A and B are shown apart, each in its own frame.
Chain A
Amino acid sequence: MRIGILNELAYRMNFLVQLLQSGMSLLTALVGFLVVFSHTETLGDWRPNDILALLGVYLIVGGLVGLLIRPSMSRLMEDVREGTLDYTLTKPEDAQFLVSIAQVRIWKLTDFVLGSIVLGYALFNRGLDVGFDETIAFAVTLTCGGAIVYSFFLILSTLSFWFIRIDNILVIFDAMYQAGRWPIGLYPYWLKFVLTFIVPIAFAITVPAEGLIGRLDAQTLGLDIGVATLMIAVSRLFWRYGLRNYSGASA
């Protein structure tokens, strides 16, 4: 972990590029937000500050995924392809743990910071009505969302034991992820299903945002926790199954 951070610090230019990218995507989102709400007061049954809070969560989660989950998983796919995964497997620690913390992309913190600012501003505009219940709900749903996205990535990466060239599949996640800038409930039924159960954008963004602004019902919360637990277990089993089938590069 430490080494990963130090590696990144060596490329400070990347920070400027990342800052620019984050700033641009924030600007895009904000202008889009302004254009939409210059024509309406509510979207679905979301008010402007709710959407702004959602945007904050979108940036925060996107930042965390890019910071912690994605780099390690891309690295895993690359290691499988190049055969360097064998070095990790010979270590005495749990392999899943090791591959999951192999790499961080520290500059993605800019998304996290920008997202926190947007979220803070939105909550302030709402009159800081976040109570104890909302805080707990946010913490729980964010953790579950993180667990679901992590498991989703682990399953995809484990597929690389069989299909060597699937790193492009992560692009699908990026493309779908932008759909989460708006409430998933707006989408037509089939797309809602895809964005909830196939690519888990709803659990990653919409549900935590709902938790924070107090529109989450107990049923959704239960489903969220259930899916998270299931995904963690399934991805773990799948990873072990994949590992048993993996013969290594040198074998």
Chain B
Amino acid sequence: MLSIYLAYLKTSIAVMFQYRASMLIWMIWRVIEPIIYLVVWTAVAKSRGGEVGGYTPGTFAAYYIVLMIVQQYTFTWIMHEYEWRVRSGTLSAVLLKPIHPIHSDIADNIGYKVLMTVIIFPAALFIGLLFAPVFTFHADLFILFLLAVVLSYVMRFFIEWALALVAFWTTRNEAFNQVYFLLGLFLTGRIAPLGLLPDWLREVGDALPFQWMLAFPVELLLGRLTNGEIAHGLTMQVLWLVFSFGLHRIVWWRGVRKYSAVGA
């Protein structure tokens, strides 16, 4: 299994290296977005005399820099990928391979993350120099943070992989993807730290896994959570992980049957 992964990883890095300019350009999206919201919230904090919801311009900067890095390492593009695979008809080829397709998807994702490491940290440093983040480093929190990021990554991967398979049932699942991304934008903490969201939105978020993907690891590292909240968060991550692992098994099994029934 390991050798299969190594082979997958090598091909995917080689392929991505061919498209390095495009990948760099797509990166801009994920760097610009946190800068925009950082700028807006900095302006809000200033107009309120330097602080809003427990955040100052300095801690907002730290928040958005860490958020950008966590987002970079945990995001997947798998839902777009499946939409494209179904529309272009390449899904059948994927299904014909003797190995379960999730393995090559995982390898692609890891390969991309490895490559992008050389860009995201300079980008974070650059933003750091411009916005003067206020941040104290705690070694014990950092270890818990790494754990939370890994859990977030695995959980997110299975959730989005399972949802990507909605493509088996409809040929145009843009609508579905759009709703998912919109919810994600608000409920992961990208548009604002969750504490600044109105109550009704936070209640929606409590029923969904989004806050455990980004907001939780970020706030953990910044030292904004109590021990009880950290324990609760890690538990929720594990629960969502177990749930999404089960979900992806069920959806995959039913989806493949459905797809062959159509007669591909």
A binding-site residues for B, Cβ under 8 Å: 13, 17, 20-21, 24, 27-28, 31-32, 34-36, 38-44, 165, 168-169, 171-172, 175-176, 178-179, 181-182, 186-188, 190-191
Given contacts A17-B172, A39-B52, A43-B40, contact A32 B191 (CB under 8 A): yes
- Minimum CB–CB distance from A69 to chain B (whole Å) comes to 19
A40 to B48, CA, bound (A): 7
B253 contacts partner chain A, Cβ-Cβ < 8 Å: no
Are B178 and A20 closer than 8 Å at their CB atoms?
A: yes
Chain A residues within 8 Å of B185, by CB: 28
Could you say which of B22, B29, B131 contacts A175, with CB atoms under 8 Å apart? B29
Chain A residues within 8 Å of B192, by CB: 32, 35-36
Interface residues of B in 150-183 (CB under 8 A from A): 172, 174-175, 178-179, 182
Q: How many residues of B contact A (CB 8 A)?
A: 35
Most buried by B among A13, A34, A39: A39
B136 contacts partner chain A, Cβ-Cβ < 8 Å: no
Closest 5 CB pairs of A and B: A175-B28, A40-B44, A175-B29, A168-B22, A168-B25
A191 to B94, CA, bound (A): 44
Are A178 and B44 closer than 8 Å at their CB atoms?
A: no
Chain B residues within 8 Å of A179, by CB: 32, 35-36
Interface residues of B in 41-70 (CB under 8 A from A): 41, 43-44, 47-48, 52-53
The residue on B at minimum CB distance from A44 is B43
Are B196 and A43 closer than 8 Å at their CB atoms?
A: no
Are B191 and A35 closer than 8 Å at their CB atoms?
A: yes
Given contacts A39-B48, A43-B47, contact A191 B26 (CB under 8 A): no
Prevailing SS type, chain A contact patch: helix
Interface residues of B in 84-127 (CB under 8 A from A): none
Given contacts A24-B178, A41-B47, contact A35 B39 (CB under 8 A): no
Are B174 and A20 closer than 8 Å at their CB atoms?
A: yes
The residue on A at minimum CB distance from B47 is A40
- Minimum CB–CB distance from A39 to chain B (whole Å) comes to 5
B21 contacts partner chain A, Cβ-Cβ < 8 Å: yes
B263 contacts partner chain A, Cβ-Cβ < 8 Å: no
A21 to B32, CA, bound (A): 20
A182 to B185, CA, bound (A): 17
The residue on B at minimum CB distance from A23 is B178
